[in-house]
Structure 1
Amino acid sequence: MSYQVNPARGRFNAAFFSALGPTLERSLRPYKQVVFAGLPSTVVELGPGVGANVSYLSPGSSLVAVEPNRPMHRRLRAAAERHGVRLDLRERTAEGTGLPDDAVDCVISSLLLCTVADPAAVLAEVRRILRPGGTYRFVEHVAAPAGTPTRVLQRGLRRPWGWTFEGCSCERDLAAAVRGGGFARVEVRPHRLHTPFVTFNTQISGVAHA
């Protein structure tokens, strides 16, 4: 699947997540520490952005980074170098990684399934490249329960939010998408962050087993 980089928006998001990434990471870290614990020596990450998750890999590990947004690449390379992680950077989309079938033991993502055009296609690609017994580990933000003030705000801001953040949707039921993604077993934990970005605060994290 093709991805057209918007030069202004791509640069904005690279700068935004570099500047505010540490603040968001403080809120997300307790959940990432659980699902990203004990990562293997080679990991595929879908949409690594500027490298927020590189620190969860051990020094000397290899990261196959599937990131189509070129303005993110310079900061992602720098993050990998700082943490001693070998980087295999692929300018492709999550729907078409180009990796062989049954290629890896672990795929991770954070704040990725909200942005892709077709989450089901991404999950099918994850299943295809995972070896039997492999894991897909994720932290994603999702739709708030219907009728809540947060859901009303998500609905009201969906167009400007989506345009600004590369198509990001605040209204997806990604827990249902992962559970329906054909994995052998799925563990999902809902949680809520407390940040100024209210539409972003309803989250899930978990592990899907191939």
Structure 2
Amino acid sequence: MSVQQNNPLRGRLNAWFLAAVDSYVNRLLHAKKSALFADLSGTVVEIGPGVGANLTYLAGAHRVIGIEPNAQMRPILERRAARRGVNLEILPVGAEATGLPEASVDFVVCTLVLCTVGEPRRVLEETRRILKPGGKFLFVEHVEAPHGSMLRRLQRLLRRPWRYVFEGCCLDQDTASLIRAVGFSNCEIDQYRLKSPFVPVNEQIAGVAIV
């Protein structure tokens, strides 16, 4: 979930936690990801690949660029990419300014990451900038629950400690509105409720935004 490292200890703990729950979370999201990532090809940028939760779906890409500034994640990510035969290049930069050329990539992938960045709109604007005309932004994100719901009240109760432990992760961000606001030519967003023990992040969206 994290694309930035604010604290060395929490960075290591988050890397360990994500590696530990990786296979379980992938089972929960496998159907969504399989449908969403079925046609990945060409040059693919993944924002915040973490410890490599999406590597299974990236094997068909010609080139994969991971935007991952959290140094604690990278050794695990590199080992897993090598085992799966993924041609991965890691850029240790923030997703707000990747340094990649304008209109240079075919797909940008982002799963459970926009909740952690300090300026999600800037990340989305950068995503749109680096995508080729007709390029696709593919995303799965947890978001704010409906106003007045029990889940929304739980998110508000846990918001501060959750943000601290998971290095900036915001439980109640309206990510769908942010995606729609940055000027993609078309957005298809499906909102759903995941059934998992990780209750505060069970309100989610998945979709495609096209340049």
Taking the TM superposition and a 5 Å limit, the aligned residue runs for 1:56-205 are 56-58=57-59, 61-205=62-206
Preserved contact between residue 5 and residue 167 of structure 2 (Cα < 8 Å):
no
1:18 has 2:19 as partner: yes
Preserved contact between residue 59 and residue 84 of structure 1 (Cα < 8 Å):
no
- Code of the residue aligned with 1:57 in structure 2: it is L
Preserved contact between residue 60 and residue 84 of structure 1 (Cα < 8 Å):
no
Preserved contact between residue 5 and residue 70 of structure 1 (Cα < 8 Å):
no
Match of 1:31 in 2: 32
For normalisation by structure 1, the TM-score amounts to 0.96
Higher deviation after alignment, 35-44 or 46-55: 35-44
Preserved contact between residue 193 and residue 203 of structure 1 (Cα < 8 Å):
yes
* Cα offset, 1:207, TM superposition: 0.4
Stretches of 4+ aligned residues off by more than 6 angstroms: none
Percent identity between matched residues is: 49
Report the Cα distance in structure 2 between the residues aligned to 1:100 and 1:11, rounded to whole angstroms.
32
Report the Cα distance in structure 1 between the residues aligned to 2:167 and 2:5, rounded to whole angstroms.
10
Report the Cα distance in structure 1 between the residues aligned to 2:144 and 2:61, rounded to whole angstroms.
37
- Code of the residue aligned with 1:138 in structure 2: it is F
Structure 1, unaligned runs of 5 or more? none
Report the Cα distance in structure 2 between the residues aligned to 1:31 and 1:171, rounded to whole angstroms.
21
Report the Cα distance in structure 2 between the residues aligned to 1:61 and 1:80, rounded to whole angstroms.
14
Preserved contact between residue 42 and residue 106 of structure 2 (Cα < 8 Å):
no
Change (3 A) 1:43 1:115: same
Matched residue count? 208
- Code of the residue aligned with 1:30 in structure 2: it is A
Preserved contact between residue 143 and residue 172 of structure 2 (Cα < 8 Å):
yes
Preserved contact between residue 41 and residue 61 of structure 1 (Cα < 8 Å):
yes
Q: Secondary structure in 2 aligned to 1:170?
A: coil
- Code of the residue aligned with 1:204 in structure 2: it is I
Preserved contact between residue 193 and residue 202 of structure 1 (Cα < 8 Å):
yes
Change (3 A) 1:175 1:159: same
Report the Cα distance in structure 2 between the residues aligned to 1:4 and 1:65, rounded to whole angstroms.
15
Kindly report the root-mean-square deviation, in angstroms, between the aligned alpha carbons of the 2 structures: 1.1
Change (3 A) 1:64 1:155: same
For normalisation by structure 2, the TM-score amounts to 0.95
Report the Cα distance in structure 1 between the residues aligned to 2:16 and 2:44, rounded to whole angstroms.
25
